[in-house]
Structure 1
Amino acid sequence: MTMGIDPMDLAEDDLFRELRHLHATRTETLLHGSADALANHTTRTEELEGEYLRRHPERDVDPERLRDGARRRQGAAS
């Protein structure tokens, strides 16, 4: 169930604005929202993130965010 504008119909700037807003409100929704509000927030986040990934399949992935990067950080901390 899509709430709001279908993510495929959003311009790039609008998609980013919507994603930023959802990420900014996630903790508040988790801590203080109803079960329905949290479920709706999760669904909309998945829709928008899915659209972002569809548009940017070759996005820039930081090597430090991968398992090998985490292993290197753990080894350096030891």
Structure 2
Amino acid sequence: MTMGIDPKDLSEDDLFRELRQLHATRTETLMHGSDEALANHTTRSEELEQEYLRRHPARDVDPERLRAGARLR
């Protein structure tokens, strides 16, 4: 169930804005939102993140964020 605009229909700028907003409000929703609010937040986050991954399959992955990179630290 998509809440709001279908992520496929968002411009690149709008997609990034939506992702930033959701990430900024995640902890507040987790700690103080109702079960329904948390479920909706999770669903919307997954929809937007999947759209980002669809658009950017070869995104720049920081080697430091990989297990091997962490072991080197």
Note the C-alpha offset of 1:17: 0.2
TM-score by length of 1: 0.93
The structure that has the greater radius of gyration is 1
Gaps of 5+ in 1: 74-78
- Counterpart CA distance in 2 for 1:71 and 1:30 is 31
Q: Which runs of 5+ in 2 are unaligned?
A: none
Determine the C-alpha separation between the residues in 2 that align with 1:23 and 1:40.
Answer: 13
After superposition, the CA RMSD in angstroms is 0.3
Between the aligned residues of both structures, percent identity stands at: 85
One-letter identity of the residue aligned with 2:62: D
Q: 1:46 aligned to 2:46?
A: yes
Pairing 1:9-28 to 2, within 5 Å after superposition: 9-28=9-28
Distance in structure 2 (CA, Å) of the matches to 1:40 and 1:28: 14
Tell me the CA shift for residue 71 of structure 1: 0.8
**What is the alpha-carbon distance in structure 2 between the residues aligned to residue 23 and residue 15 of structure 1?**
12
SS in 1 for 2:2: coil
Runs of 4+, deviation exceeding 3 Å: none
Give the letter for the 1:72 counterpart. Answer: L
Note the 1:55-66 alignment, pairs <5 A.
55-66=55-66
Per the normalisation by structure 2, the TM-score is 0.99
- Number of residue-to-residue matches in the alignment: 73
